[in-house]
Structure 1
Amino acid sequence: MQLGFVIDQSRCIGCHACTVACKSENQVPLGDFRTWVKYTEEGEFPEVRRSFSVLRCNQCSEPPCVTICPVTALDKHANGIVEVDPALCIGCKSCMHACPYDALYINQNTGLAEKCHFCAHRVARGLAPACAVVCPTEAIIPGDFDQATSRVSQMARDFDLSARKPEAKTQPNVFYKDVTTANIDPGLSNKAGGFLWSNAQTGPQMAAQTFEARDREMSGEPALARTTYDVPRKELWGSKITGYLFFKSIAAGLLPVALMLHWTAGASLPGLGEAAVSLGFLLVTLLLLVFDLKRPERFLLILLRPNWDSWLARGSYLILAYNLALVLWMADAFMGWDLRGHVLAGSLVGLGGLTACYTAWLFGQARGRVLWMKRHFALHLLVQSALAGSAALALFAWSPWGAGLAGSSEALGASALGEFMLACCGLHLILTLLEDRCAPRGREKEYARAARLVTHGPWMVRHWVGGVLFGTLAPIVLLVSPVDGAMQIAALLMLVGLWIIEDVFIRAGQALPIS
């Protein structure tokens, strides 16, 4: 059984009755939507055509929101409907990034994710969803696609129906008859021209849309269809997630870098100080993750009932394992148990690497954020972790607390550390410059739009000046300079540049409209 909808846009009059009925039936908060109507216009006066589309959850056969949820709060039932269990949701917002259709939201009153559930309480009593009942033109047709005699199955056979974003490979179960392509493909419309009946939206998404409209005009490309009505969207992840990436890079890189210098350059064996600093940054990472949850008191559910398909759950266990290895290293350094051999050291390097790069696989599950799905991201995160770890090690080793962390600069192997930092900067620069070639397969066009926002759009100055010039090229120059203190200045610039690069990546990844 697979319940779903066929929406006949040749009948839709854009009256919003479905939206109002859904809000009333399911007590949807003001500003949030489970179903909504989008308006687009094409042409110039007097030859103008306005089109409508009813947008909602697609009750996917391969729902990415179910896969990414770390606590199994989302489940696909036997009737094909995907539903959120409010008793389990922790408000992490990962499902919202996984959905390519913008179909989930966080209820600010409860801190829980919510979405269209096909009016499950009505279906259980043999009733149709509220939106279908109130539609005055019967444009919304619910039914079972697995039942050959159902009306939706008949329409699927008789008409050439369209679906939203088949390239996302979610196998959606909401289909459209006679829909204008610009209404279901967000890449074919632009909202920079202003809205009907409401103020124009502001924020990063509007800045991105304005840039794209001007970019097309300057390049001589024809204008896109105008989005003249749509629901507002918020930036879901911000500085806390940037901080999570940044501090995790330092935590995962500092002690492993010190160990590699010990093995390759004869630096002293890392002791209590390096492990304590790594552990401190790891705890900051964990706190940022917890405080970004809308229901932080439920954080332990990730460990107590994990969804092993989710890299958010797997990553939590990797962080826990790395944390325990760091504690064991500290205990050995303090108690003198003589356990810091190759097995524990190798485990720390391996767990540090996995802690650094698991986010790439997590972001790969976020099918709504195509920039985050870039190929070779795991390699780039490893390089960023080595860069951050070596820079942090350089700063701490020459700080007033340096003797407690790494001994003298000679013991650390100063020249080897400088060479390591230089190599990390070079690799980071190469991978950054090659990002426009890392599109996930099948999503190349959408990825190119998102990448251009970084390199030519609203984030261009921060990316090139802050992240590349001052954060990468300047440290390279300093690291080959014989000036005293150049390494410490380079290390500071590397860390500042890394923060900028990661912050731009997080924010630009959410700027493209996906519905």
Structure 2
Amino acid sequence: IDPNKGTAAKCNYCAHRIENSYEPACVIVCPTESIISGDLEDPESRISQLVTTQNTTVRKPESGAVPNVFYIETSEEMLDPAATDVTGLGMSTDQAFGVGHFAKYADNRLEAADTSSMIVQLALEKKARQAAPRDQAIIRDVMERLGEEVPDAKRSYDQPTKGVLWGWEVAAYIWTKAICSGTYIVAVLSMLTGMVEMNDGLWMQTIGIGLAFLALTGLLLVIDLDRPERFLYVLLRPNWRSWLVLGAYVLGG
């Protein structure tokens, strides 16, 4: 979340660049060429060959999803946020004191980076650029030694402790939309089972309650945004392939 504009920047894989046969910006600017993009379905592409020949890991393999992002020779601590200790120390740990809706309340950085760790990191990045087999072996040896000397991994970047969990608005709209649909379902089931004889008055009450909670659901969704007025963009500049747009029109209607 941009603390000045209150808006979120979401990665779209640089679609405007991909359409013109350019690589994503993150691939271009990465000084160590650690980010590789390409066509995974093309066996001749570099990324496909890396995935085939290297020891790769994906996030949450137990979910059964088909991943498009692979990590080479990574560790569990790098992919599982709960596997690392939150220390609050480091050059890039500012977000620990305000992320998401709390970004505008972020405090100043408390501690400076560990100089020794920075020197090791810079040395490894310099060697990684050369990509020589001997240098890669040295890097693996150093990383293994560091892993032995540090029993518990510690996060050095992006340690959110605020703004991660959903606020009351999200929890409330789950209830309101459940009441909206549940009211109509109970009315229909009561009529079908003969428990209640539905007349025009009861139907009007049922529809009225449902519409009221449906409107409250939409209101809570908009209130949850840092910039509620941006909700109009979904209606005025819609992407008809997005389920978010279709849902917004249903709620708005």
Scaled by the length of structure 2, what TM-score is found?
A: 0.53
Rounded to whole Å, the distance in 2 between the matches of 1:148 and 1:246 is 48
For residues 468-494 of structure 1, what are the alpha-carbon distances to aligned partners after superposition, in whole Å with 9 as ceiling and x for unaligned? xxxxxxxxxxxxxxxxxxxxxxxxxxx
1:117 matched to 2:13? The reply is yes
Q: Call closer, same or farther: CA 1:258–1:204 in 2, change over 3 Å.
A: farther
Out of 218, 223, 235, the residue aligned to residue 286 of structure 1 is 218
For residues 25-62 of structure 1, what are the alpha-carbon distances to aligned partners after superposition, in whole Å with 9 as ceiling and x for unaligned? xxxx757xxxxxxxxxxxxxxxxxxxxxxxxxxxxxxx
1:239 matched to 2:134? The reply is no
Rounded to whole Å, the distance in 2 between the matches of 1:248 and 1:134 is 44
Q: Which residue in the other structure is 2:178 paired with?
A: 249
SS in 1 for 2:56: coil
More contact order relative to length (CA 8 Å, sep ≥ 6): 1
Q: Call closer, same or farther: CA 1:117–1:235 in 2, change over 3 Å.
A: same
For residues 326-346 of structure 1, what are the alpha-carbon distances to aligned partners after superposition, in whole Å with 9 as ceiling and x for unaligned? xxxxxxxxxxxxxxxxxxxxx
Rounded to whole Å, the distance in 1 between the matches of 2:39 and 2:187 is 60
- Over the residues paired in the alignment, what is the CA RMSD in angstroms? 4.6
Amino acid at match of 2:154: R
Q: Which residue in the other structure is 2:80 paired with?
A: 185
For residues 364-399 of structure 1, what are the alpha-carbon distances to aligned partners after superposition, in whole Å with 9 as ceiling and x for unaligned? xxxxxxxxxxxxxxxxxxxxxxxxxxxxxxxxxxxx
Q: Which residue in the other structure is 2:155 paired with?
A: 227
Rounded to whole Å, the distance in 2 between the matches of 1:112 and 1:229 is 19
Rounded to whole Å, the distance in 1 between the matches of 2:98 and 2:6 is 25
Q: Call closer, same or farther: CA 1:111–1:266 in 2, change over 3 Å.
A: same
Amino acid at match of 1:151: R
Tell whether the 8 Å contact from 1:123 to 1:129 is kept in structure 2 after alignment.
no
Q: Which residue in the other structure is 1:296 paired with?
A: 231
Gaps of 5+ in 1: 1-28, 32-107, 206-222, 324-515
- Return the offset for 1:167: 2.9
Q: Which residue in the other structure is 1:196 paired with?
A: 90
1:153 matched to 2:85? The reply is no
Q: Which residue in the other structure is 1:478 paired with?
A: none
Rounded to whole Å, the distance in 1 between the matches of 2:155 and 2:45 is 34
Tell whether the 8 Å contact from 1:302 to 1:316 is kept in structure 2 after alignment.
no
Rounded to whole Å, the distance in 1 between the matches of 2:40 and 2:239 is 36
Rounded to whole Å, the distance in 1 between the matches of 2:42 and 2:21 is 19
SS in 1 for 2:156: strand
Rounded to whole Å, the distance in 2 between the matches of 1:265 and 1:184 is 54
Amino acid at match of 2:49: Q
Tell whether the 8 Å contact from 2:2 to 2:8 is kept in structure 1 after alignment.
no
Q: Which has the higher strand share?
A: 1
Q: Call closer, same or farther: CA 1:185–1:284 in 2, change over 3 Å.
A: closer
Q: Call closer, same or farther: CA 1:130–1:290 in 2, change over 3 Å.
A: closer
After TM superposition, list the pairs within 5 Å mapping 1:48-447 onto structure 2: 109=5, 111=7, 114-118=10-14, 120-121=16-17, 124=20, 126=22, 128-191=23-86, 193-197=87-91, 198=93, 201-202=96-97, 225-230=153-158, 232=160, 234-235=163-164, 237-254=166-183, 257=186, 260=190, 263-264=194-195, 270=202, 272-273=204-205, 275-292=207-224, 294=228, 295-300=230-235, 305=240, 307=242, 310=243, 313=246, 317=250
Q: Call closer, same or farther: CA 1:164–1:120 in 2, change over 3 Å.
A: farther
Amino acid at match of 1:242: A
- Return the offset for 1:196: 1.5
Q: Call closer, same or farther: CA 1:144–1:165 in 2, change over 3 Å.
A: same
Gaps of 5+ in 2: 101-150
Rounded to whole Å, the distance in 2 between the matches of 1:230 and 1:123 is 31
Amino acid at match of 2:13: H
Q: Call closer, same or farther: CA 1:256–1:130 in 2, change over 3 Å.
A: closer
- Return the offset for 1:115: 0.5
Rounded to whole Å, the distance in 2 between the matches of 1:122 and 1:302 is 22
Scaled by the length of structure 1, what TM-score is found?
A: 0.30
- Return the offset for 1:257: 4.6
Rounded to whole Å, the distance in 2 between the matches of 1:181 and 1:313 is 38
